[in-house]
A and B are shown apart, each in its own frame.
Chain A
Amino acid sequence: MMKKFTFFLAVLLPGLLAHAQEAIPLKGDELFGSLRARHIGPALMSGRISDIEGHPTDARIVYIGAAGGGVWKTVDGGVTFKPIFDKHNQSIGSLAIDPTRPDQVLWVGTGECWTRNSVTIGDGLFKSTDGGQSWNRMGLEKTERIASIQVNPKSPDIVYAAAMGPLWGPGADRGLYKTTDGGKTWEKILYIDENTGCSEVTLDPQNPEIVYAAMWEHRRTAYSFSSGGEKSGLFKSTDGGKTWNKIHTGFPTGQLGRIALAVAPSQPNRLYAVIESDKDATKGLYRSDNAGESWERTNGDFELTVRPFYFSRIVVDPRNPDVLCKAGLSGSISRDGGKTFKALGNMHADIHDIWFDIKDSDRMYVATDGGLYRSWNGGSVLEMVKNLPISQFYQVSLDNATPYKIYGGLQDNGSWYGPSESPGGIENRDWFSVGAGDGFRVYRHPTQANIIYSEMQGAEYIWRYDTELKQMKIIKPYPEANEPKLRFNWNAALNISPHKPDRLYVGSQFLHRSEDRGETWTKISPDLTTNDPAKQMQQNSGGLSMDNSGAENHCTIFSVNESPLDENIIWVGTDDGNVQVTTDGGKTWTNVVGAIEGLPKNTWAYQVEPSRFDKNSCYVVFDGHAQNDMKPYVFKTTDLGKSWKSVVTSDVKTFVRHIKEDVENPDLLFLGTEMGLYITVDGGQNWSQFTNNMPPVAVHYLAIHPATNDLVMATHGRGILILDDVSPLRQVTKEVIAKDVHFFERKPTIVREDSPFVEGGDTGEFVGENPTRVAQIIYYLKSRHTFGKMNMEIFDKDGKRVADMVPGKAKGINIVTWNYQYKMPKIAKGKTFSSGGFATPTLPAGTYKVVLTKGAKTYESTVALASDPRSLYTAEDRALQYSTTMKLYNMTEQLAYVVDRADALRDSISTKIKTNSKLGKGLEPVQKQLLALKEKMVVTTGDNYVSTAEPQLREKIADLYSEVSGYLGRPTNAQLDRLTGLEKELENAEKAVGEVVEKVNGQLKKSKAPVVSLRSQEEFMKSDS
């Protein structure tokens, strides 16, 4: 029955010596307890969205599927969005809403369908029957990408799913699938071959037995892309997919590529298809007015033919068959049945989907590489939705400011930096742009706070940027005379040195080093790649539509890192699978990849992480996905690459992009995988996925801040996520987890003195979460506490109880937050509230005792508070502030008691007069006197808003108390003078009430009536009223 109630209210540093760490088999929640990731966005550049679907009858409800950021739902026409798919794969290909049960049944097809170089993989189809609260896996796990889902509107257990299938290799898990039992079983009803997937399925809305499906032959490698072939085609079935006919009458002959297809909902015989062919003259939009029997080409404009792998989508106005939109670089709209088009209004480039409002075609939603846009006037003007933190970071780095700032580059959205903390939360306006194009690696100069390095795709530009003067300089290296052209990866290796602040590294096929912030470059290596000419044919990439963007550049250096322990040791990883190391600052290089057992040849060396504990040690992460190999590869050497051991286990289910060694405990490692964050506390013997407020999003890069111990994650779809203060994880040992209760060591909590004014956070804009300022008490519980009492109290050095807390009771690590405020004072009862009375005194710096009581047992620890090192105040200032605050606190309570006495006396007199009217003559004037006294002590009229009464003594004391307690420095002289005045007033009031009590009792005695007995101050303080 309890569930209703809430409705009512609203290191142990293991030695640095090599040693065998004992395995700690604690997994998941049992280990992480209530540690929780913090989302800070940003949402101002947002990120790529692959699909939009709306509710069939409620125009306020719209869903978006992000390329790497999950599924989001708005119920208010796009003002606010909430994620609804956070426990599952965040790469979304398509969404579908059951038109017969739109509030219950939703379908999500994972795996983005726009197959750019950085596209990732899905893991099948999901269904919700409770409006998105929970999801069930419905098969097709190996299809990698689901491009479209169609629910039969007359028989909703019949569902079609277009599976594109593996992108980087052949495979039979592709084609068109059909279920007739709501997803329990699937039948592959249209299949061509191992290289040809189904890229689109659509139904005739009036006769859903008519099914259209587009098949696409395509393949990607790390160094090439091929769209099109003999097998691509458009098919039609009129019997729910039992039999199929190719419907190409009017289409070009020869090889075809990706085909976009749409049926006009208001006139189902009208079809539109966009064809990718091998001749410019035959590419473009085709229209059929006879349900696909024949086609006529109507338009071949750039927007219709550009990059079919990225933009093959047509959306027809639900009410007008002549109005249609085509996704594209800018997106375009036709109002004459596809004969002519005009561009959609200004917005972020790269349009992937469009949704027409179900009631008003002037209202449109548009999915782009830079988030979601809305139009109110048919697509001429578009406003951005600033509430979707689905940004796709490639990298993250940090600086040493307080609070620290976060730097990184994003897919098609430049380079940025923003704060880890900001007044009122981290808002869009807190972020600053520091690079154009696609952004990748960004670093702040280690000693010059204004200087930032950033780059764009293929190191076309590398910038040095002064954030104060807003000046930029291009500092990239150029080929030397008689040298081949430099090959840079799309996401080119750029790094700074942990030893020399002005040093920079850039990797082409060579490693380039600068000692003067990029003014001069020295080539310090030969070609470190395999230099395989077969992987350097990018000018021919794309297939039927040439696509040489630089995205497939290969045989390049991808990762470079100088050892934090020795500047002459530099590690390099290449995209074609070499791991190179030098121990003499680049004079000689050794390719050490051959010593790794169990690693397929040419697997992309994604990251090299030299150890900060031992200069001969290094971790290397390999990513095989572009060779159709989704296994995790993480290796460690302790002898400069002569031998390697794997430090990944079967706990990790997918491929890996990044590893980060903790800054203190060498056995604590963090792994960025394609589906979330994994952590080990035993040097890689056991890995656990971290899932607390952490969706299984692709984690591309990790950084740890050495002062705050925060783990900062660059996610490719959910922006920057932070796991604040990982230090408790350093302390997890076999001994700790054997104990019933174990308190973790904590650094003293800084009692922050800054209290900024806050403006902003308006609905419609994303606001990122700030780190907590309060103290945390962190402990491990061996088992969950369910039965009997468990509480936690905090005592000061004198043994006085200063807080009574609600402890966490979960098995694993619990975090209890303590705001180090003493409780509110008891305040005199008046007609209205005293706002000052809600203030709480901040407890002074020092060590406090924590007592956890669990059943009959108690466990003790301490928690320490420290003064803000950036403080303007002296210890004397603070002491005076605290003593003044407490004086006013006590005065507030003292007055409360005086008022209680006056009230009780009046009540008592009333009763006595009622029972003995003879007493009235003498006591009635006393009642008036008491009322007059009370009116001076507390407010007795008005309300809490605009009918506020004149403040009385209670308000005067409480307001001064609130003002003095809110500032941790010395009270002003004016405040101290005011205090003296109020002390006098309180004394007078107390005296006056006391005199009346005596007077009354004198009279009563004279009349031989029983005297009035009032409760003691102690009794009053104990009561709830």
Chain B
Amino acid sequence: MKRMKLVAALLLMTLSVQAQTADEILDKYFENTGGREKWASLKSVKMSGKVKVQGMEIPVEIVQTAEGLQKVTINFQGKEITQMAFDGNEGWSTNFMTQKAEKMDAEASANMKQETSDFPDAFLNYKEKGYAVALEGKETVEGTETFKVKLTKKPVKVEGKEEENVSYYFFDTENYVPIMTRSTLKSGQMKGASVENVMSDYQDADGFMFPYSLTTKYNGQTGESIQIEKVETNGTIDAKSFAFPEGN
């Protein structure tokens, strides 16, 4: 960590007061978190930790791969529940009542599918993904000065209608890592609510800097937190475990 701060400090010193561009911020971000090449070579990430919500502590495992496979598994009373899984085409999850797998609605699956290239980071080669990035000045979040970077991804379908897919990333002006994101909930009862993900506890895992703590706020109120305990990169992943369990 010390090394990183030093690097950042040096960078700061050499930087004149010149205007930053979004790309310069992203360059520094990648440089400070492992390097673009290293990020591009990442095949999979498995994270395990705890979800903390309303005083509950629930073991969680999150797996993502470069092929776009994703799975979030939680453990409740010794039973594994798939909170969400995506096989590259379709998403599914475990129904809490029957504990059987059920498919996501087609619109949600389609929206996920078009973001499979987000792994390992939406900003990595964002132009090739058809995304747009813009620096929208500075904003103080978490009591800290940040660069506000707007990310526009491909439009998503919401209730049959195409909607713009915009989110904001707040990069600490000192270290160039995002400490918060902000977007608007597009569906559900809370539709229209502002969702902020606050990120901290960046730590090294196999040469990558990952935020080990992530707290979600809804309209400014703290919802759930994920505390990561272990990160495994490029481990062995069983592709079959992402598939919808037929006939369950």
A residues lining the B interface (CB < 8 Å):
1-6, 8-9, 28-30, 33, 36, 58, 73, 75, 80, 82, 84, 103-104, 130-131, 133-134, 692-693, 763, 781, 783-791, 804-806, 809-812, 817, 819, 821, 823-824, 826-830, 832-834, 837-838, 840, 896, 943-945, 1024-1025
Contact = CB atoms under 8 A, between A and B. Distances in A.
Given A75-B192, A82-B192, A787-B4, A819 B55 contact: yes
A5 B202 contact: no
Contacts of B219: 693
B247 interface: no
Contacts of A29: 140-143
Interface string B180-219: 0111100001011111011111110000001111111001
A3 B182 CA distance: 9
A829 B200 contact: no
Contacts of B243: none
Nearest to B196: A6
Q: Which of A9, A29, A824, A1024 has the largest count of B CB atoms less than 10 A from its CB?
A: A9
A1025 B75 contact: yes
24 contacts: A2-B210, A28-B140, A29-B142, A36-B220, A73-B192, A84-B192, A103-B163, A131-B163, A131-B164, A131-B184, A133-B166, A133-B183, A784-B142, A809-B142, A809-B201, A810-B142, A810-B143, A819-B55, A828-B78, A833-B79, A896-B78, A944-B96, A944-B97, A944-B99
A830 B79 CA distance: 8
Nearest to A945: B97
Nearest to B123: A1
A1025 B210 contact: no
**How extensive is the interface on chain B, given as a class?**
35 or more
B35 interface: no
Q: Which of B5, B136, B143, B189 has the largest count of A CB atoms less than 10 A from its CB?
A: B143
Question: What are the 4 tightest A-B residue pairs by CB atom distance, in nearest-first order?
Answer: A811-B143, A82-B192, A829-B78, A812-B143
A787 B209 CA distance: 9
B1 A8 contact: no
A5 B62 contact: yes
Contacts of A826: 78
B220 A3 contact: no
A8 B164 CA distance: 20
B164 A785 contact: no
Contacts of B101: none
A790 B77 contact: no
Given A785-B201, A809-B142, A692 B220 contact: yes
A833 B98 contact: no
B31 interface: no
A374 B226 CA distance: 43
Nearest to A803: B55
Interface string B218-243: 01111011110000000000000000
A608 to B, nearest CB: 35
B56 interface: yes
Nearest to B85: A8
Contacts of A896: 78
Contacts of B57: 804, 823-824
B163 A784 contact: no
Given A1-B118, A944-B97, A790 B201 contact: yes
Contacts, number: 180
Given A806-B225, A806-B227, A817-B222, 11 more contacts: A1-B119, A3-B169, A6-B216, A30-B140, A783-B144, A784-B142, A806-B52, A811-B143, A943-B98, A944-B97, A944-B98
A4 B165 CA distance: 13
Contacts of B183: 133
B215 A833 contact: no
- Secondary structure at the A interface, as helix, strand, loop or mixed, is loop
Contacts of B226: 5-6, 9
Interface in B4-62: 4-5, 45, 51-52, 54-57, 59-60, 62
A680 B193 CA distance: 31
B87 interface: no
A2 B120 CA distance: 9
Contacts of A817: 222
A785 B62 contact: no
B184 A133 contact: yes
Contacts of B169: 3
B69 interface: no
A821 to B, nearest CB: 5
Interface string B107-126: 00000000100111110000
B55 A840 contact: yes
B89 interface: no
B147 interface: no
Given A3-B181, A827-B78, A786 B120 contact: no
B173 to A, nearest CB: 11
Contact of A104 (B70, B96, B164, B202): B164
Nearest to A131: B164
B172 interface: yes
B129 to A, nearest CB: 13
Given A8-B72, A693-B219, A823-B57, A30 B77 contact: no
A103 B166 CA distance: 12
Contacts of A837: 77
B92 interface: no
Contacts of B56: 824, 838
A791 B122 CA distance: 29
A821 B121 CA distance: 37
Given A9-B224, A833-B79, A30 B143 contact: yes
Interface string B159-175: 00101101111001001
A65 to B, nearest CB: 17
Contacts of A693: 219-220
A6 B140 contact: no
A842 to B, nearest CB: 11
A787 B4 CA distance: 9
B133 interface: no
A781 B143 CA distance: 10
A29 B144 CA distance: 8
A625 to B, nearest CB: 29
A943 B62 contact: no
Q: Which of B55, B77, B97, B168 has the largest count of A CB atoms less than 10 A from its CB?
A: B77
Contacts of B98: 943-945
A916 to B, nearest CB: 30
A943 B248 CA distance: 14
B215 to A, nearest CB: 6
Contacts of A82: 191-193
A153 B201 CA distance: 49
Contacts of A821: 55
A601 B233 CA distance: 72
A784 B175 CA distance: 11
A810 B140 CA distance: 11
B142 A811 contact: yes
Given A693-B220, A823-B57, A806 B164 contact: no
A5 B214 contact: yes
Contact of B54 (A6, A788, A819, A945): A819
Contacts of B213: 790, 806, 809
Nearest to A816: B222
A856 to B, nearest CB: 11
Contacts of A824: 56-57
Nearest to B152: A130
Contacts of B59: 1024
A103 B152 CA distance: 14
